[in-house]
Amino acid sequence: MTQNAWLSDPYLALGAQVRLGRNVDGLPFGARLQKAEALRLLHRAEDAAKRASGAQMALVPLQDLSPDCRQGLVVQGLISRDMEEKDHCGLIWGQDKSLGILVNGEDHLTIQAQGKAPDLERLLKEAMSLETLLEESLDFSYDPQWGFLTQDPQRIGTGLQASVVLHLPLLTRTGQIRNVAAALRQVGIKMENAYGRRESYRLLNQMTLGMEEEEIIHKVNESAQEIASREMAWRQAFRRQHPGVMEDRVWRAMGIARCARRMDWEEGQLAVSQLRLGASQDILPGFSPRELMGLEEEIHPALLTLRAGRSLSPQEEEEARARCFRRVLSQKPLED
C-alpha cells in the first residue's frame, strides 16, 4: 500500500474531525455570560441554524440530558469534554449527525464536521459552508489582524481545529510514541490520547493564525499520512522479525475477551486495540471497523450505566462489559 493510502485503512485511521470556533459579537465569554444571555444565545443559534439548513437542524439542550447521557455524547465525539458538566449549552444537529453546532462550549458556537480520515478537505468545506450561512443571521467577532476572535487566544485567527485519530499500537508498544509526539510538535502538530481508546491518538494543528484553512488541513493530512506509514512499517518489521508472535497475542486477546466473566475498562480498551490490530493485519476474520467502534462505545462506563438504566457497582459494570464482549465475539470464528 502506498503512503497516501494508509489513511484509507479504517482500522488504522479511525476518523477525522473539523471544528470552527466562532463568537457572537457583543456577548461576553465563558462564566461572564449570564444565564439569560446564554439561553437567548441557544435560541438565536437554533434559529440561525434552522434558516441555514432549511429547518433540518434542531437544538438539544444538554441540561435536559442525564450526566451519563452527556458522557455518552462525549464518547461518541459529538460534544467536547468541557461541555459534560456545563450549564446552558447545547448541540444543534440534523438527521446527519456528522455536521452540527456546539453552543456555549469552548466558544459561543463551534461548527463541527466528522467523518472518515481521507475526507478532511470535504469536512472543512461542509463546516465552512455552514459557517457562511450562519453569518447571514449572526455577527461573529473579528479583528483585521487576528482574524476570528476566540475565547482562548490559542485558537485565534481561523478558529480551526482539524484532527485525525490514528490507531498506533506498535509505535506505542515499542516506546516510539514519545519521539513521534516530539517530532510532530516541531512541525506544529499536537498529539493527544484519543478519549476512550487505548493506543489511539488524535493529531491536530497547534497553530490557527497566519495560515489559510486549506493549508492547515494539508499539514494535518500530511502529518497523519507520515505517522500512519511509520506505524505500518513497524508492524511489518515486527512480523518479519518475530514470526507468529503477533498472531499469538491477538488470538490470546480474542480468547480472553470471548470467555472472561469480568473486565475492567482499561482491560476492555486494550482488548479492543488488540482485536483492531488483528483485523487490520488479516489475522482475525469477520470484524468490521464499525463493529469495533461500536464495541468501544458500548463498553464505556457511562454507556453501560445508560443501558442498565441505573447506577452499577464496579463488579456489575465489569460483568456487563464482559457480557458485551461475549455477545459480539461469540459470533466470530475461532480459526483464521
Between CA 290 and CA 39 the distance in angstroms is: 36
Nearer to other proteins, 151 or 225 (CB): 151
Phi, psi of 31 (to 5 degrees): -70, -15
Q: Is 151 in the site for other proteins (CB under 8 A)?
A: yes
Cell numbers placing 287: 470484524
- Work out the burial of residue 186: count CB atoms within 10 Å of its CB; fewer than 13 is exposed, 13-18 middle, 19 or more buried: exposed
Between CA 297 and CA 299 the distance in angstroms is: 6
Smallest gap, in angstroms, from Cβ of residue 7 to other proteins? 24
Nearer to other proteins, 132 or 179 (CB): 132
Nearer to other proteins, 192 or 215 (CB): 215
> Using the rule CB under 8 A, which residue among 141, 221, 223, 305 binds other proteins?
141
Binding mask 24-43 for other proteins (x = CB under 8 A): -x-xxxx-x-----------
Nearer to other proteins, 212 or 336 (CB): 212
Smallest gap, in angstroms, from Cβ of residue 212 to other proteins? 5
Smallest gap, in angstroms, from Cβ of residue 47 to other proteins? 19
Q: What DSSP line would sit under 99-166, residue for residue? A: EEEEESSSSSEEEEEEE-GGGHHHHHHHHHHHHHHHTTT-PBPEETTTEE--SSGGGTBT-EEEEEEE
Binding mask 212-231 for other proteins (x = CB under 8 A): xx-x----------------
Cell numbers placing 50: 434552522
> Using the rule CB under 8 A, which residue among 158, 163, 221, 225 binds other proteins?
158
278, amino acid identity: G
- 200 forms beta bridges with 167
Cell numbers placing 272: 479492543
Q: Is 330 in the site for other proteins (CB under 8 A)?
A: no
> Using the rule CB under 8 A, which residue among 149, 170, 272, 322 binds other proteins?
149
62, amino acid identity: L
CA-based nearest residue to 278, from 304, 301, 300, 256: 256
Sites of contact with other proteins (CB under 8 A): 23, 25, 27-30, 32, 128, 131-132, 135, 139-149, 151-154, 156-158, 160, 207-213, 215
